[in-house]
Amino acid sequence: MNPASLIPIAEPLPIHWAWFDILLIVTLTAHLLFMNALLGSAVIGLIRSVRGDTGPLRQAGMKLPPLLALTINMGVAPLLFLQVNYGNFDYVSSVLMGGWWLAVVAVLLAAYYGFYIGKFKFDAMGPGLRGLLFAASIGGCLYVGFMFTNNMTLMLHPETWTEYFRVQGAFLNLGDPTVPPRFLHAMVGALAVGGLFLALLGRTRKNDEFVDLGMTWFTRATLVNLAVGFWFLIAQPDDIVAAFMGGNIPATGTLLAAFTAMGAMLWAGYRKRPRQSAVWAVITVFLMVCTRHWLRVLSLAPWFDINTTPVTGQYGSFYLFLGFLVVGLALVGYMLKLYFAARGRGV
């Protein structure tokens, strides 16, 4: 069977596709920052708790439910923008995963409840039950991350879709050599940002122990992630590697910019400057998301050219979206102002 026959025809776009790609990159950056802070701080807190120090888990545990809510909310937008431009690939890969993909919602809800119970019953639970609860919720988040890794890689390789007819049912993209390093790249990155999140909490509370702990995890996890990132790169097909090694100027330039930002981030990390490290971390994650975008474009090039997608020029809905976005951001800013003002009064 010709895999190209399994690719649905792309739907017309109301506006130029570049707008959706820009929104995809920006919103995915925000989602990953929240996800990394959530998962990384939870894992670090759990490890310290097993060693007898419950302080990091207690402090992180208070933040995990709102962090997960923000992670989910920030994750909806990039998923929708992805489906607008690349839905003819993403929808197919989601369907091929079947129950594995549908289970993401249930597992995520269970993890959410676990973090909430951990927050409000932290002192009421014994160390064993508390550790088991947080470990189960972290495991749920890891499952969700692994399913997204499977989906995002499966959509890039229509030649593997015919596996559905051989196994006669849902399947995972476990035969793809890029899946393990891609998943680990995200998870190790979460440890780095989670450590930075703890360091920022420590700086806010003037807790030098938290700052030292967080920055140690931040720098060491970042160094490990450099090796994982190199593995992720060389695991790609030869033509993709060649594109990032100078064959495609925008892709190569983006990758080099990401490494440069990571170097600056490490420099600030080793000097234990959480706020400066946070600025470079945001820039680095943004550039890594841009690099990931080029990987998607290059991988789909044999099957799909987004420039051929019809554009209807209906900008009304886009202007309406921008209007609601501006109003929404203004309201969020106002609520944050009230929140910090209340904290300043001790409310």
Q: What's 187's domain CATH number?
A: 1.20.1630
Whether residue 120 lies inside any domain: the answer is: yes
- For helices 99-120 and 127-154, the axis angle rounded to 10 degrees is 150
Structural domain contains residue 329:
no
Radius of gyration, CA atoms only, the chain: 21
Range of the domain at 143: 3-314
Q: What is the mean pLDDT of the chain?
A: 92
Q: What pLDDT is recorded for position 347?
A: 47
Residue 324 lies in a domain: no
Number of domains into which the chain is organized:
1
Least confident of 38-42, 117-121, 180-184, 261-265: 117-121
> 236-284, pLDDT tens digit by residue?
999 999 999 999 999 999 999 999 999 999 999 999 999 999 999 999 9
Distance CA 222, CA 226 (A): 6
What is the structure's pLDDT at 294? 97
Residue type present at position 59 = Q
Q: Give the percent of the chain with pLDDT over 90.
A: 73
Q: Would you say residue 228 lies in a domain?
A: yes
Q: Is residue 347 part of a domain?
A: no
139 within domain boundaries: yes
Q: How far apart are CA 296 and CA 98, in angstroms?
A: 22
315-333 residue pLDDT tens: 888 899 889 989 988 998 8
pLDDT digits (tens, 9 = 90+) for 118-170: 989 888 888 899 999 999 999 999 999 999 999 999 999 999 998 888 887 78
Coil, strand or helix: which one is 285? Answer: helix
Rounded CA separation 62/65 (Å): 7
Residue 338 lies in a domain: no
Neighbours of 184 (CB within 10 A): 18
What does the pLDDT read at residue 252? Answer: 97
Tell me if 323 is assigned to some domain: no
Number of helices and strands in the chain (H, E): 11, 0
Averaged pLDDT, 23-27: 95
